[in-house]
Amino acid sequence: MHDTAIALVQLGAVFFGLGLLGKVAWRIGISPIPLYLIGGLAFGQGGLVPLHGIEDFSHISSEIGVILLLLLLGLEYSAAELMTGLKRSWMAGVVDIVLNAAPGAIAALILGWGPVGALAMAGVTYISSSGIIAKVLGDLGRLGNRETPVVLSVLVFEDLAMAVYLPILTAVLAGVSFVGGLTAVGISLLAITVVLVIALKFGKYVSALVDSPDPEVFLLKVLGAALLVAGLASQLQVSAAVGAFLLGIAISGSTAENATRMLEPLRDLFAAMFFVVFGLNTDPRSIPPVLGLAVALAVVTTLTKVATGWWAAQRQGIGKLGRARAGAALVARGEFSIVIASLTVASGAVDGELAALATAYVLLMAVLGPVAARVVEPLARLFTRKRDAQPATA
């Protein structure tokens, strides 16, 4: 069979399979993300039936999926709301770093990977998956919840922290001088500052630039702007996701509403590919040797993320149920953690076992995160009812 025909057959099978998995997920009342990940794991390298010939398309489509997830999340909020949230939640961001980076760093030091391995694993366990969390919040209809701005503020703080962390990690892995590392960080911070100023001061002009009465022209302009900004942000050592998110908050009013309505189907399609590709790139045979440590890290960092979200929501005067939802929403890890692990292993500075540990850990957290976000509310309500039903003691 011709290469193009094979690729089309495989892509058709993938998309149709995703549709079936999504139907199963909604029938049993859970987010489809865990099933997408497991499906990718089954048909990736070392899986049941490895797929070949769609690598280029799957890679770029997964990148577009993350960009659209964060773009639409940014469309939900204005620049003023973002700055207010950051001012209110910066302490939560610091607590987040302390609680969630420490377990990974400690594990790396115990395994003898040294300071470089500790720096890498700290990032792996610290950073939540903005892509997975955005998808889960949308699936569960929680974007308008009172605790969601708190979750968003923590995620934005994490993404901005990555804009500083990744250049430092890259410089350390490459053996770049201290001055060179500072230069990379300076470029990242400058790029973020420029985009934030544009969003705050000139957001209405950005909205006017992408707006159009013609749906086709409007869709092309919005999607093109998102990919352009994300690409430029990535080139400047800033997360492409951060760039897309900041563009989203720069678009406001009816333009934002129209963009959300038109981009939602595209977001769902490409986001599904992102989760499948994550599974496709994971060899199941590398997981068993490090599964025990990955489970231990998953348990510890689930508790620390829940504590982070609970504390951040409590500071904003949110009730206990909202605090529980905020904590559970932050549990998932994903794209950033894998990027960190791949950079580290590719440099040769740390034992290749780090990649296996990071992969096992992220697979656990990528499945556990959506499940935790789904079950936390009924569990919290059940716990509250049982507590209220207990007779008062004299």
Pick from 43, 33, 32, 18: which is nearest to 281 by CA? 43
CA–CA–CA angle 214, 73, 225 (5° rounding):
45
Structure tokens at 386: 């049982």
Q: Tell me which DSSP letter residue 349 carries.
A: S
Residues 6+ positions from 257 with CB-CB distance below 8 Å: none
CATH assignment, 10-51+61-376? 1.20.1530.20
Residue 278 CA to residue 281 CA, distance in Å, equals: 6
Pick from 301, 209, 193, 172: which is nearest to 242 by CA? 193
Reported as a single tens digit per residue, the pLDDT across 262-294 is 898 888 888 888 778 777 777 777 778 889 999
Pick from 163, 93, 91, 100: which is nearest to 336 by CA? 163
Top mean-pLDDT range of 127-141, 312-326, 374-388: 312-326
Q: Tell me which of 284 and 212 has the higher pLDDT.
A: 212
Map tokens 């049993």 to a residue: 28
Reported as a single tens digit per residue, the pLDDT across 108-138 is 999 888 888 999 999 999 999 877 888 788 8
Q: pTM, whole model, 2 decimals?
A: 0.73
Percent of the chain residues topping a pLDDT of 70: 83
One-letter amino acid of 336: F
Is residue 104 within 8 Å of 126, Cβ to Cβ?
yes
173 pLDDT tier (thresholds 50, 70, 90): confident
Helices (H), 236-319: 240-250, 253-280, 291-315
Mean pLDDT for the stretch of residues 42-69: 74
Domain ranges across the chain: 10-51+61-376
Query: What per-residue confidence (pLDDT) applies to 347?
Result: 74
71 pLDDT tier (thresholds 50, 70, 90): confident
Rounded to an integer, what is the distance from CA 373 to the centroid of its chain? Answer: 14
Reported as a single tens digit per residue, the pLDDT across 179-210 is 666 676 677 677 667 767 777 777 778 888 88
